[in-house]
Chain A
Amino acid sequence: MARQGTSPEPVSAAAPVVALQDVAVRVGGRTLWSGVDLRVGAGEFVAVLGPNGVGKSTLVKVLLGVQPAHEGRVRVLGGAPGRAGERVGYLPQRRSFDASLRMRGTDVVRLGWDGDRWGVPLPRSRARRAARKRIAEVIERVGAAGYAHRPIGQCSGGEQQRLLIAQALVRRPELLLLDEPLDSLDLPNQAAVASLIGRICREEGVTVVMVAHDVNPILSRLDRVVYLAEGGAVSGPPAEVITSETLTRLYRTPVEVLRTSDGRLVVVGQPEAPARHSDRHADRHTGRDGGPA
């Protein structure tokens, strides 16, 4: 079967949207992962997987430029991370608004449109009409029109999630960073939101990097997955990475990947919480993508 790291990179003529080279990250004096290599081409759909606390959200923060990389080189949309502004759309993990927040869903989406500009919006300006049009369009696109005019604190977790996806999309980003967007959704809604994100990726050519807890709702749409483990990572097409051999090698513990009759993957034996051996990280470039296996 595939040796990790040898999967051919999809050839994209243009510069990759995301490029990580031998990146390591330290949080609170502890190295979460290191030796991570990743190239994501334009229009690809990538999932970031791994157990709780392994540093998936931290990887997203590195791509946003909010968390500096300790080692290695990070490029996002051809520049240093954090420089791309509205060309990157971001959905943070598990965010919910206070029930007493007196602001409508449309207002929250609107913040994604021009919330970073100084001053106050002028009433009846042309910019305002353009904003309205785009906001209505994106709210329609995510299927949130029914509740976008309610105070967002009174919307359910799933409704808020859709509005926040609209917020991330409103500026037509080239790269979408979604941190567990299917969290707090029931199964039908997981499927609906996953297919929505897949459509946006395919039809609008948006590159999607999505942290997920369960790969199944998005499995059919994925171009590649990144599996993070303490120390290292593997990345490649799902069929090559989500296998018993690769994951066993990555986690250094027997992991079994089962395929159900309907094509779903079940990963058994994956460590749920990473062991805290930060002192050993240096000699553990286990799953180093792109390196000799």
Chain B
Amino acid sequence: MTSPVLLAAPGWAPALGQPFFQHALVAGTGIAAAAGLVGYFLVLRAQVFTGDALSHVAFTGALAAFALGASLRIGLYGGCIAFALLLGVLGKRGRADDVVIGSVFSWILGLGAFFLTLYTTSRSAGNGNAGVGVLFGSIFGLSSGQALTAALVGAGICAAVLAVARPLLFASVDEAVAAARGVPVRVLGFVFLALVGACAAEATQAVGSLLILGLLAAPAGAAQRMTVRPFLALALSAGLAVAEMWAGLAMSYAVPKTPPSFGILAVATAVYGATFLRKPRGRRAAAAANAA
């Protein structure tokens, strides 16, 4: 079991004995690490909007699964990955195009609303909360099996991102030279989009489809502000996301009535905001060099 120093603080200690909290911690760690790694490349490739669009697809996919009585996982992953690849096909060179995203964005959201209506009117009224659960996540309601699956999927996404990290970095900052050197730029673009889709589907369980973007963008944005070394920033992004996840879970446990999604994103946003308090590394070094 994960036992971060952070959580060893007295106020949070009892939480570790609670199964629901343990499950949240296990699932949250996998989800956050995956979101941190994927988010770094989303920010680097200026594709954050793609992540946003996919979070809406996660909402629609989940509700479609509910409405049609299919498995939630199939709705989430199927919807997100298929849509991510579709964006790649419609865009150029395996990159989603902002205009394409903008055009289908609201349609997808409308489709989600349609499935929500279909679901709430066709089933018992007790399921009216499904939409809320999808929008804001339900990380404290995971069974041990669900938590383990989430952690494993997260680990799989992390492994995949690390396996393609170097050529993906090359293709992201220097596409023409990478392609000339034989890096499969287009294929990597699709692989990356599929990973973003999987990550959005995965993160929906934790923070909900409305807030995924925060988990994808905030730690990565903070990491990029903190260092100019690409692989250090990649590791930092994952590390920050995990730490923020833990802190957010602890916070929502310690402060009653704080939903975990709020806790996690409050911490993530605070950390991102804090990076503005200091000058970015590179500029400082340059200033020092100029002064010398």
- Which residues does A use to contact B, with CB under 8 Å? 64-66, 82, 85-86, 88, 90-92, 95, 97, 101-104, 107-108, 111-112, 114-121, 149-151, 154, 167-168
Q: Could you give, for residues 232-253 of chain B, a 1 whenever the CB lies within 8 Å of some chain A CB and a 0 otherwise? A: 0110000000000000000000
- Assuming A102-B282, A150-B286, what are 5 further A-B pairs, CB within 8 angstroms? A66-B180, A103-B173, A111-B177, A116-B170, A154-B283
User: Closest 10 CB pairs between A and B?
Assistant: A115-B170, A151-B282, A92-B176, A90-B180, A64-B180, A102-B224, A111-B170, A120-B165, A116-B181, A102-B228
The complex places the Cα of A85 from the Cα of B177 at a distance, in Å, of: 11
List residues of B (252-289) whose CB comes within 8 Å of A's CBs.
Answer: 280, 282-283, 285-286
CB pair A90–B177 under 8 Å, yes or no, is: yes
CB pair B282–A154 under 8 Å, yes or no, is: yes
CB pair B166–A119 under 8 Å, yes or no, is: yes
- In the complex, the chain B residue whose C-beta lies closest to that of A97 is B173
Chain B residues closer than 8 Å to A64, beta-carbon distance: 180
Chain B residues closer than 8 Å to A88, beta-carbon distance: 180
CB pair A66–B166 under 8 Å, yes or no, is: no
CB pair A102–B174 under 8 Å, yes or no, is: no
The complex places the Cα of A259 from the Cα of B280 at a distance, in Å, of: 52
Among A66, A101, A119, A149, contact of B173 (Cβ-Cβ < 8 Å): A101
The complex places the Cα of A149 from the Cα of B229 at a distance, in Å, of: 10
The complex places the Cα of A111 from the Cα of B167 at a distance, in Å, of: 8
Chain A residues closer than 8 Å to B229, beta-carbon distance: 104, 107
Taking residues whose C-beta sits less than 8 angstroms from the other chain, chain B's interface range is 20 to 34
25 chain-A/chain-B pairs, Cβ below 8 angstroms: A85-B181, A85-B182, A90-B177, A90-B181, A95-B176, A97-B173, A102-B225, A102-B227, A102-B228, A102-B233, A102-B280, A103-B230, A107-B229, A108-B173, A108-B174, A115-B167, A115-B178, A118-B167, A119-B162, A119-B165, A120-B165, A120-B166, A121-B166, A150-B286, A167-B177
B179 contacts A by Cβ under 8 Å: yes
Chain A residues closer than 8 Å to B283, beta-carbon distance: 151, 154
The complex places the Cα of A82 from the Cα of B182 at a distance, in Å, of: 7
CB pair A150–B180 under 8 Å, yes or no, is: no
B231 contacts A by Cβ under 8 Å: yes
List residues of B (147-191) whose CB comes within 8 Å of A's CBs.
Answer: 162-167, 169-170, 173-174, 176-183
Chain B residues closer than 8 Å to A119, beta-carbon distance: 162-163, 165-166
CB pair A150–B282 under 8 Å, yes or no, is: yes
Chain B residues closer than 8 Å to A116, beta-carbon distance: 166-167, 170, 178, 181-183
The complex places the Cα of A238 from the Cα of B174 at a distance, in Å, of: 33
Among B178, B228, B231, contact of A104 (Cβ-Cβ < 8 Å): B228
The complex places the Cα of A119 from the Cα of B257 at a distance, in Å, of: 43
Chain B residues closer than 8 Å to A104, beta-carbon distance: 228-229, 282
Chain B residues closer than 8 Å to A90, beta-carbon distance: 176-177, 180-181
CB pair A107–B230 under 8 Å, yes or no, is: yes
Chain A residues closer than 8 Å to B234, beta-carbon distance: 120
Q: A102-B280, A118-B167 are in contact. Are A112 and B177 (CB under 8 A)?
A: yes
Among A86, A101, A117, A150, contact of B285 (Cβ-Cβ < 8 Å): A150
Q: How far is the CB of A175 from chain B (nearest CB, A)?
A: 12
Chain B residues closer than 8 Å to A117, beta-carbon distance: 166-167
- By CB atoms of chain B within 10 A, which of A85, A90, A115, A119 has the most? A115
- By CB atoms of chain B within 10 A, which of A101, A118, A120 has the most? A120
The complex places the Cα of A114 from the Cα of B178 at a distance, in Å, of: 11
CB pair A118–B285 under 8 Å, yes or no, is: no
Chain B residues closer than 8 Å to A151, beta-carbon distance: 228, 282-283
Q: How far is the CB of B285 from chain A (nearest CB, A)?
A: 7
- In the complex, the chain B residue whose C-beta lies closest to that of A85 is B182
Chain A residues closer than 8 Å to B180, beta-carbon distance: 64-66, 88, 90, 92
- In the complex, the chain A residue whose C-beta lies closest to that of B181 is A116
Chain A residues closer than 8 Å to B231, beta-carbon distance: 120-121
